[in-house]
Amino acid sequence: MNPVSLTAVSTTANIVNSADAPHASTDALLQQLQGAPVPKHIAIIMDGNGRWARSRHMPRPFGHRAGMKAVRAVVEASIAAGVEWLSLFAFSQENWQRPQPEISALMSLLEEYIQSELRELREQGVRIRVHGDLSRLNAAAAAAVERAVAETAHCTRLGLNLFISYGGRAELVRAMQLVAKDVQAGVITPEQVDEDTIRARLFTQDCPDPDLLIRTSGERRLSNFMLWQVAYAELYISNVLWPDFDRTALFEAILDFQGRDRRFGKVDK
Ligand code: IPE
Ligand code: IPE
Ligand code: MG
């Protein structure tokens, strides 16, 4: 049993990683993390763009733009580390309540991201999927999303799930409606409904649950993200604001994960 992980759950100092901690070189970190299994699936709540902009006396969209660079860095670092799935929370269902100019800026950035990165993502072998209530996207953003999904469908190196206009509870409601329809149609009986029945009706039906959930900007909540799927994810809270999250930060999170003792309710042998 790893004694570090036992104390980690009980002290804030250990679960919140200081942005000021001295960094070993990124290459050395990559080498180090390759000595142990890396998480198959990493999920990230990319938070702190607004605060990043405000600290520079700039409007919030400035922070969202800077956040695109971090997305790029984290996708590349995930591939380098051998991660198979990366889930990014880009825009929540609740974020529709933000001021219209900010929403418009975010939608334009989504288009811009796909426009400017799609070719490279495809060349890197990144298969994009987009999950959420996409009926609320404007036509241009919806078309960009559709193109990204279609043009990377054959890629196999990294599965990139982008959660846009997404809420975890809404995803579960949708799954329940699908189950109810199948029961009504006589495809399954109520007694046959089990965890696999629900899992098969989630957006992430063909992807394993996240092993590691990262949230940046020091906030310690799920904000309605992947509620079903993160049941046994290891949580990693980083104080770094999303636009500053980079390759080194991701490798540090993976190394921290590798020191955890995942028991899944059992006792250590
Ligand atoms: C995360 O950054 C991006 C989105 C939610 C779209 P925020 O915009 O939430 O930034 P803060 O939390 O206000 O700093
Ligand atoms: C969660 O961040 C959503 C995304 C990162 C896309 P928020 O900034 O919207 O969450 P709250 O409001 O702090 O819970
Ligand atoms: Mg936020």
Mean pLDDT of the chain: 92
Pocket of ligand 1 (CB under 6 A): 46-51, 60, 91, 95, 106, 217, 242
The single-letter code of the amino acid at 125 is G
Residues bordering ligand 3, an ion, CB closer than 5 Å: 47
- Asked if pLDDT for residue 264 goes beyond 60, the answer is yes
Whether residue 21 is contained in a domain is answered as no
Tell me what pLDDT residue 93 has. 98
- The closest residue, in CA terms, to atom 14 on ligand 2 is 223
pLDDT digits (tens, 9 = 90+) for 49-90: 999 999 999 999 999 999 999 999 999 999 999 999 999 999
Whether the model pTM is above 0.85: yes
pLDDT band at 190 (very low <50, low <70, confident <90, very high): very high
Q: For a substitution probing ligand 2, which of 46, 47, 68, 109 has the most ligand atoms within 8 Å of its CB?
A: 47
51 by Cβ neighbours in 10 Å (0-12 / 13-18 / 19+) ranks as middle
- For residue 105, tell me if it sits in a domain: yes
Ligand 1 centre and the CA of 244: distance in Å?
13
pLDDT confidence bin for 268, thresholds 50/70/90: confident
The two structure tokens encoding residue 34: 């390759």
Based on the number of CB atoms within 10 Å of its own CB, is 199 exposed (0-12), middle (13-18) or buried (19 or more)?
middle
Region for residue 57 given its phi and psi (left: phi exceeds 0; alpha: psi -120 to 50; beta: otherwise): left
For the question of residue 47 being annotated catalytic, the response is: yes
DSSP letter at 36 equals S
Q: If DSSP codes are grouped into helix, strand and coil, which group holds residue 268?
A: coil
Domain that holds residue 147: 4-8+45-167+212-258
H/E segment holding residue 8 = helix 3-8
In a domain, residue 128? The reply is: yes
Residue 4 has pLDDT above 70, yes or no: no
Note whether residue 205 is domain-resident.
no
Rounded to an integer, what distance in angstroms lies between the CA atom of residue 130 and that of residue 138? Answer: 15
Question: Considering the domain boundaries, does residue 26 fall inside one?
Answer: no
> First vs last Cα of the chain: how many Å apart?
9
Q: Which of 214, 217, 221, 241 to mutate to test the pocket of ligand 1 (most atoms within 8 A of CB)?
A: 217
Identity at 101, one-letter amino acid code: P
Q: Has residue 238 been placed in a domain?
A: yes
Give a yes or no: residue 57 inside a domain: yes
DSSP 94: G
pLDDT tens readout for residues 81-134 = 999 999 999 999 999 999 999 999 999 999 999 999 999 999 999 999 999 999
Which residue has 């709540």 as its token pair? 45
* 21: confidence class by pLDDT, cuts 50, 70, 90: very low
CATH number for the domain harbouring residue 234: 3.40.1180.10
**Regarding predicted confidence, which is higher, 116 or 15?**
116
**Cα 205 versus chain centre, distance:** 15
Domain count, the chain: 1
Instruction: Measure the CA angle with vertex 35, ends 14 and 21; round to 5°.
Output: 30
Q: Is residue 40 part of a domain?
A: no
Q: How much distance in Å is there from the Cα of 48 to the middle of ligand 3?
A: 5
Q: Using one digit for the tens of pLDDT, what is the confidence trace for 204-252?
A: 999 999 999 999 999 999 999 999 999 999 999 999 999 999 999 999 9
Please state, in angstroms and as integers, the Cα–Cα distance from residue 1 to each residue in 51, 151, 246, 261, 263, following that order.
39, 45, 30, 7, 10
Q: What is the pLDDT of residue 6?
A: 34
